[in-house]
């Protein structure tokens, strides 16, 4: 391997490169001398074989640019686990809603206390019946957004 000057920009490049790294001129269009590997005779790079010994001159393999490696994902994915179940909340509202147990389960402590204070009026039981129906027909994403 030898360094040659590009005839276009005079940038030094390898004689085995496909083109000049500075101006892009293909080496197939350049004329320069190389040495035969067999007899060390100086020959043109355009020759197919050595004029002295007949040894075939291998053309340089085309350069294939290797893309840079993709960045690795070193991030930890955090998965938020919802511990509250829509079905459990609906069942609690249906069977124990008069006492406000479903409100405690969903993290609405103040409402749970109010339901406990007024359970004897049966108003919380009636309201919780409708809340159970609403919870059953609520979308899972909406449930997680409101109570997750």
Per-block average pLDDT, block size 10, for the chain (148 residues)?
71 74 72 72 72 72 65 69 86 96 95 95 96 94 88
- Residue-level pLDDT at 40: 75
In the chain, DSSP assigns E strands to: 3-5, 12-14, 33-35, 42-44
**Whether the predicted model's global pTM rises above the 0.85 cut:** no
Phi-psi domain of 54 (left: phi exceeds 0; alpha: psi -120 through 50; beta: other): left
Q: Which of 29, 10, 31 is nearest to 19 (CA)?
A: 29
φ, ψ of residue 13 to 5 degrees: the values are -135, 165
Q: How far apart are CA 79 and CA 86, in angstroms?
A: 19
Residue 98's Cβ-count burial label (10 Å; 0-12, 13-18, 19+) is buried
Contact 25, 6 (CB under 8 A): yes
Average pLDDT, the chain: 81
Q: Which two tokens stand for residue 126?
A: 């009636």
Contact 57, 46 (CB under 8 A): no
In 17-93, DSSP assigns E strands to: 33-35, 42-44
- Residue-level pLDDT at 12: 80
């Amino acid at each position: 391997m030898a360094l040659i000057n590009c005839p276009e920009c005079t940038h030094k490049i390898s004689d085995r490169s496909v083109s000049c790294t500075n101006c892009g001129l293909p080496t197939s269009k350049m004329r320069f001398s190389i040495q035969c590997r067999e007899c060390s005779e100086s020959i043109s790079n355009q020759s197919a074989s050595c004029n002295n010994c007949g040894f075939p001159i291998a053309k340089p393999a085309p350069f294939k640019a290797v893309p840079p490696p993709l960045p690795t994902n070193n991030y930890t994915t955090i998965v938020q686990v919802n511990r509250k179940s829509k079905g459990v909340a609906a069942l609690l509202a249906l069977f124990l809603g008069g006492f406000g147990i479903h409100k405690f389960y969903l993290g609405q402590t103040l409402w749970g206390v109010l339901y406990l204070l007024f359970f004897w009026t049966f108003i919380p039981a009636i309201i919780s019946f409708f809340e159970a129906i609403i919870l059953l027909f609520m979308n899972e994403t909406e449930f997680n957004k409101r109570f997750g």
